[in-house]
Amino acid sequence: MRHCPRLAALLAITVLHSPAAAQESDLTYQGQLLESGAAADGTYTAVFTLWDADTGGSQVGPTNIREGLVVTNGLLTAQLDFGADAFNGARWLEIAVDGQTLTPRQKMTSAPKATRLEGVNNAPNGRFGINTSNPAAKWHVEQDDGIAIYGQSLFEDAIVGVTATNGKSALWGISSAPSGYGVRGLVDSSPGTGAGVFGSSFADQGVGVFGQATNSAGAGDGVVGTTAATQSHSAGVRGIASSASGTVHGGYFVTESLGNGASGLVAQATSNTGTTFGVQASVSSPGGIAVSGYVAPGSGGYAVRGNNGNSDGYAGYFIGRGHFRDHTSIGKTGVKVSSAEWFGVHTTAESGQYGGMYISGQNAGAYPFYGYSASGVGADAWHYFDGIAQTWNLNANGNRLSVNRSNGYVGFGDSSPDYPLDMASGARCTTGGVWTNASSREWKHEFQSVDARDILDRLTALPITEWTYKTEDGVRHLGPVAEDFAAAFGLGDDAQTIGTIDADGVALAAIQGLNQIVLEKDAEIAALRDRMTRLEAMVEALAADRD
C-alpha cells in the first residue's frame, strides 16, 4: 500500500476560460506530492473538499473526486470547482489521497476569479506573459517602470512559488539597475512581527534564505540587513534555529577566499553612549556555548582572538570561571600571555622564559599569585615568594604557611622557621626528628592538681595490647587504643586520637603515684627493720642472762 505522508500545495492560480469579465467558479490546483519523503509518480485517486475552518467547521461547496490523477515527478494538476460563491470568506482545502486524509488543511490564499487582463498573452506551450507576446517562462512579466509583480493577501501567502525536484528556483528575481533589487520585501504594518523576506526549507540540507555576491571585483555582500529601529534587541540580520535534535545554527557563515585573508563573520558596533558589542551571543541550553572558535589542523592562527586598542581596556574579559585545555598530544601551551609577562600553563614544548607556570611581579608590593574573596568575615588569601627573605608564603588573614628556600624549613604561622617543622605555638620537629611540644606556663591556664595514685590505678586498669595499623601490615606497635584512653582519663578533643603530651602526662602522674607507693613501702620497711633490730637486741639479752 502506498503512503503519502505529505502533500505540499505550493501554487494555486486561476485558469482563464474566456475574455469575459464575469466570475468563473473553476480553478486549477497545482501541488507537489511526496511519498515516503520522495517525489511520487503514478496515478492516484484524490478527493478535494473545501472548508470554512482549519479543523472541524463546515464543508463549503461540492466534493471534487479526481480518479486516475496523474502525478509525474511529484507534480500534480487538478481542475476543481466549488461553486461561484465558495470563496466569500477564509477557506481551507482538505485533500485525501488513496483514502488517506492529509493534514493539516491548506489555507486558500485568494478567491478565484476569471478575468481577462490587458497585456496578458497565452502561448501555445502553456506559458503566459504580461506585457510580452513571447513569454520565456511559465509566468513572464515585463514592466517599464514601477513594480512588476505585487502580491497582497488578506489571509496568508500573497505569492507562492513551486519548483520541481531538479534543483531550480521556485521564485527568481533579477535586476539590471546598478542599485536595484532582484527580490525585495516590505512590511508596512506596525506594531507587529512581519518579515520583509521570509525563507523556509524542508530539505535535509536546505537553506531558508541564500545570498550570493558573484562579482569578483569590489566589495559585494551576499546578504545585507539594516534596521532603523530604536528599541532594544533590534537587528539588521537575525537568525533563529529550532530543532528537536541535531546541531542547528541561528547564523552560519562560511568564507572561502583565495586572496590574502578572509573573515567568516565581521561585526562592528558604533554607539555614542552605553555598552556596545561587536558580537554578542547567548545560549539557554544546559550545555550551551555562547561563543565557540575552532581552527582547523594545519591552518595555525587563533580560535578566539581579542585586540584592544585602549591601554586601559581588556582584550578579554570574563565574568565567571575560565577553563583552558592544552594540546598535550602536540605539546602546546594551554594558556599563554606574551610581551613583558611570560606566562605558561602545562607547557611541554615551548621555548623562552616558560615553565610549568611563571609569573613575575617586579614592582614593590606586587603579589605574583593573588586571590581575594569578600565573605562575611572579610577573608582573603594569597600566596607569594618573598625574594628578600627567600621564603614562599601562603597568607589567609595572616601568614599561615612559609617555606624557606635555602634549607626547606616549613613554618606554620611562622614566616621565619628555625626548624624543619616550626609551629607558631612553639611546637616543632628538630633536625634529628625529635618532636617538641609547646608547654610553657605562659601558654596554659585553668590548672588543676591530680591524684597521682588515682591516675596510677586507672593506668593499671587500662588495657595495653600489641597491634598493627590497617595501613601498615607487618608493622607492630604497643599501646592502648584511643577509646579506652579517653574513657579512662577524658583527655584530648576526641576519642580516636591520643595526644603525645596527654600520654606523657599520664605516665608522669602514674610515676608520681608509683613513687608515693615506693615511699610508703620504704617507711614500712624502715619501721620493720627497727622492730627487727630491737627484737634481736632483746633476744641477745635473754640469751646472756641464761648464761
Select from 120, 152, 176 the last residue of a domain: 176
d(CA 45, CA 27): 19
* CB-based contact 51:57 (threshold 8 Å): yes
Instruction: Please report the pLDDT score of residue 317 as a whole number.
Output: 79
Select from 141, 176, 211 the last residue of a domain: 176
Are 169 and 48 part of one and the same domain? yes
CA 356 to centroid of chain Cα atoms: 28
Q: Strand 92-97 and strand 42-51: pairing?
A: antiparallel
Select from 412, 443, 474 the last residue of a domain: 443
Q: What is the CA radius of gyration of the chain?
A: 48
Are 511 and 491 part of one and the same domain? yes
Are 37 and 159 part of one and the same domain? yes
* CB-based contact 410:418 (threshold 8 Å): no
Over residues 82-110, the mean pLDDT reads 88
Are 18 and 151 part of one and the same domain? yes
Total domains present in the chain:
3
More confident residue, 229 or 17: 229
Burial of 105 (0-12, 13-18, 19+ CB in 10 A): buried
Which of 246-250, 318-322, 349-353, 427-431 is the most confident on average? 427-431
Q: Strand 410-412 and strand 421-423: pairing?
A: parallel
Are 395 and 527 part of one and the same domain? no
**What single letter denotes the amino acid at residue 191?**
P
Are 378 and 522 part of one and the same domain? no
Instruction: Please report the pLDDT score of residue 137 as a whole number.
Output: 74
* CB-based contact 361:370 (threshold 8 Å): no
* CB-based contact 141:45 (threshold 8 Å): no
Helix/strand/coil for 7: strand
The band of 11, judged by pLDDT with boundaries at 50, 70 and 90, is: very low
Which structural domain range is residue 419 located in?
A: 369-443
Measured in degrees and rounded to the nearest 5, phi and psi for residue 94 equal -110, 135
SS3 content of the chain, % helix, strand, coil (to 5): 10, 20, 65
**Which letter does DSSP use for residue 105 in this model?**
P
Q: Strand 100-101 and strand 399-404: pairing?
A: unpaired
| Alpha-carbon separation of residue 31 from 13, 161, 172 (angstroms) | 11, 10, 19
Instruction: Please report the pLDDT score of residue 324 as a whole number.
Output: 65
Is residue 451 pLDDT above 80, yes or no?
Answer: yes
Cell readout for 139 is 509566468
CA 212 to centroid of chain Cα atoms: 33
d(CA 30, CA 74): 11
Helix/strand/coil for 503: helix
Cell readout for 98 is 488513496
Over residues 253-263, the mean pLDDT reads 67
* CB-based contact 127:138 (threshold 8 Å): yes
* Helices and strands in the chain: count of H runs, count of E runs: 3, 24
Instruction: Please report the pLDDT score of residue 502 as a whole number.
Output: 93
411 CB neighbour count, 10 Å cutoff: 23
Collect all residues with Cβ–Cβ distance below 8 Å to 388 and sequence separation of at least 6. none
d(CA 152, CA 138): 21
Cell readout for 401 is 604557611
474 membership: H or E segment, kind and range: none
Are 56 and 153 part of one and the same domain? yes
* CB-based contact 484:495 (threshold 8 Å): no
482 membership: H or E segment, kind and range: helix 482-489
Are 402 and 495 part of one and the same domain? no
Of 91, 74, 72, 86, residue with least CA distance to 153: 91
Is residue 230 assigned to a domain? no
Are 458 and 436 part of one and the same domain? no
| Helix axes 452-461 and 482-489, enclosed angle (nearest 10) | 150
Are 104 and 125 part of one and the same domain? yes
Q: Per-residue pLDDT tens for 492-520?
A: 999 999 999 999 999 999 999 999 999 99
Over residues 420-434, the mean pLDDT reads 85
Is residue 194 assigned to a domain? no
Please give the mean pLDDT across all residues of the chain.
74
Are 123 and 153 part of one and the same domain? yes
Instruction: Please report the pLDDT score of residue 306 as a whole number.
Output: 81
d(CA 289, CA 48): 49
d(CA 140, CA 123): 11
| Alpha-carbon separation of residue 490 from 86, 121, 211, 451, 505 (angstroms) | 101, 113, 85, 15, 13
Q: Per-residue pLDDT tens for 377-392?
A: 555 566 666 777 777 7
The answer to whether the pTM exceeds 0.75 is: no
